[in-house]
Structure 1
Amino acid sequence: MSKFVLPEPVVRIEDVRELARDLLVIPNRRVPLVPNIGVVGGAHSVLVVETGMGPRNAEAVLAFAAEYAAGRRLYLTTTHFHPEHAFGAQVFAGKATFLVNRAQAEDLAAKGAAYLEMFRGLGEPVARQLEGVEIASPDVVYDDAYDLDLGGRVVRLRAAGRAHSRGDQVITVPDAGVMFTGDLVEAGQFAIFPWFPPYDTDVSGIRWISVMRRLADASPQVVVPGHGDVGGPQLLADVRDYLELLRDETWARRDSAVSEQTIVEEVRALMIERHPEWAGPEWIDKGVGCLCAEHPV
């Protein structure tokens, strides 16, 4: 997947940002394969959002969360099953209640082992963080919606439906106006399309656009993306607008019967011209491939 050596994907507990009362984010510092990690507190419980990649990162996250919780009960959730978001959950076993939506739990069980092997192939720094990974099973699984009472603060967990993955989950803290999106949203980066035919084709550009429209309509005050800097609701609009343009430009060329390679080259050039400051241009090609295979619903 990568033509260069990725840096060590290490979660560092530094520059922790307080977004609201009793609500923190451990920033990813724009390090590849390190997610933004949330810690959301209430009177009697604390929810951790994302584990980081592998047991060692998760141990650092758990130690920070446990100290911060100061005796409050711990919960863990993840936005989707991909390794940097969920492949440290084993560390939380017996110390936190792990809860996710059903589609994500099924993704983890069905695809976890294959993604572990694929990510190990990204280079020694990544493989080191994946040493000793065991795919964890959630303690609580819900279908579409779950309201978690932390004590004086209710956190809304919602299955997004198939988009970046089949099991995306969005976590909202209504009293603080904060939304954790996982990889439905990246800041300063082209949308990540895990389009790997024939092995994994669950990503859907069409459904992703529908999800982004719903999230944008919710108008949160603060958006915590999967990767990149925390921002405001404009992040949601930026991703929605990019995906819509990617779809329109791809389909216009597909309907003109040009080759997929030509579509990729032309659309990639257009998107980079539109967003020259964004990282991850290789994901444009994957997005084009995905949308070439999709049709209006």
Structure 2
Amino acid sequence: MAEYLYPEPVVRITDARELARDLVVIPNRGVQLVPNIGIIGGTHSVLVVETGLGPRNAETVLKFAADYAGDRKLYLTTTHFHPEHAFGAQVFTEFATFLINKAQAEDLATKGAGYLAMFGGLGEPVARQLEGIELPTPDLVYDNSYDLDLGGRVVQLRATGRAHSKGDQVVTIPDAGVMFTGDLAEAGQFAIFPWFPPHDTDVSGIRWIAVMEQLAAADPQAVVPGHGDIGGPQLLADVHDYLQLLRDETWLRRDSAMSEETIIEEVTALMIERHPEWAGREWLAPGIGCLCAEHPA
């Protein structure tokens, strides 16, 4: 990852849009390491989904959310522990209740420092946003599911189990038919596989496919991916179908005792041929490597 120079990962609120009643999305505008951010309101409380990368981005998000909330109580949650999603939570400490699932809290505590160092090596624009980072401790930790009452609106927080990370969480607003997936789904790019053996091997392509089937069964009307344009149910289907194809093509070659290097070369070429317009080609090799490791011997 350190060989790639990332652009300035800055959250901009100028394009914030209302997706449904009292539900605003600050889009990532196609900028790498900037997530889609949600502001979800009820009569007495407002939930913020994602912080952006580092304190300065989080300050931008907090100011927008506080102005939007008015005198309503603030909550913060993150879809998983990765830096652009959660490494600004310290800014919210005195202003919001930070709640996440247990597996995500464990990821943050055990892997946070390592990811901070790794992301700090992604170039000066990224390192600048990470200055002054203090890894946060959540105020409220739940096991697998939590229903947050914002007043006249209940938001469902659900841990999915191991997939993109060990602690993935989806955020669903049933009355609006909206689902925030975090990096379980991306629009217009290859799935992000944080497969970094031996340091982090918690991503599971097999489990990820199963999770996408579960999310599709919930039949949301609007899907807010971790990165990329907001879509509908087809976005979940596209991610599922891609992951399944990646698995099948990888395992087909693994069955023939082909070397992993050759598998990566052939499957990468095939996936690019299928999706030449997708970004994130650097994630193909880690995804194939992960699925090679998950191949049933």
Normalised-by-shorter TM-score class: over 0.9
Identity over the aligned pairs, expressed in percent?
A: 79
Q: Distance in 2 between matches of 1:166 and 1:146?
A: 18
Stretch of structure 1 that moved more, 2-11 or 133-142 = 2-11
Q: Is the 8 A contact 1:29 1:228 kept in 2?
A: yes
What one-letter code is carried by the residue in structure 2 that aligns with 1:28? N
Q: Distance in 2 between matches of 1:108 and 1:5?
A: 25
Q: Distance in 2 between matches of 1:24 and 1:2?
A: 33
Provide structure 2 residue ranges, at least 5 long, that are not aligned to the other structure: none
What one-letter code is carried by the residue in structure 2 that aligns with 1:138? P
Give 2:99's aligned residue: 99
Alignment length (residue pairs): 297
Q: Does 1:277 align with 2:271?
A: no
Q: Distance in 1 between matches of 2:254 and 2:104?
A: 32
Q: Distance in 2 between matches of 1:177 and 1:30?
A: 24
What one-letter code is carried by the residue in structure 2 that aligns with 1:235? L
Give 1:188's aligned residue: 188
What one-letter code is carried by the residue in structure 2 that aligns with 1:53? L
What do residues 179-236 of structure 1 show as CA deviations (whole Å, max 9, x unaligned)? 0000000000000000000000000000000000000111100000000000101000
Give 1:152's aligned residue: 152
Q: Is the 8 A contact 2:195 2:289 kept in 1?
A: yes
Q: Distance in 1 between matches of 2:238 and 2:266?
A: 21
Q: Distance in 2 between matches of 1:53 and 1:44?
A: 28
Give 2:85's aligned residue: 85
Q: Distance in 1 between matches of 2:6 and 2:197?
A: 23
Residue 175 of structure 2 aligns to a residue whose secondary structure is helix
Q: Is the 8 A contact 1:9 1:53 kept in 2?
A: yes
Q: Is the 8 A contact 1:183 1:192 kept in 2?
A: yes
Q: CA deviation at 1:15?
A: 1.0
Q: CA deviation at 1:282?
A: 1.3
Provide structure 1 residue ranges, at least 5 long, that are not aligned to the other structure: none
| Aligned-pair Cα RMSD in Å | 0.9
Q: Distance in 2 between matches of 1:2 and 1:252?
A: 31
Q: Distance in 2 between matches of 1:247 and 1:161?
A: 19
Q: CA deviation at 1:295?
A: 3.4
What one-letter code is carried by the residue in structure 1 that aligns with 2:59? E
Give 1:266's aligned residue: 266
Q: Is the 8 A contact 1:206 1:296 kept in 2?
A: no
Residue 99 of structure 2 aligns to a residue whose secondary structure is strand
Give 1:293's aligned residue: 293
Q: Is the 8 A contact 2:156 2:172 kept in 1?
A: yes
Give 1:197's aligned residue: 197
TM-score (norm 2): 0.99
Q: Distance in 1 between matches of 2:3 and 2:83?
A: 20
Q: Which runs of 4+ in 1 moved over 6 A?
A: none
Q: Distance in 1 between matches of 2:126 and 2:42?
A: 34
What do residues 231-271 of structure 1 show as CA deviations (whole Å, max 9, x unaligned)? 10100000000000000000000010011010000000000
Give 2:161's aligned residue: 161
Give 2:35's aligned residue: 35
TM-score (norm 1): 0.99
Give 1:257's aligned residue: 257
Give 1:241's aligned residue: 241
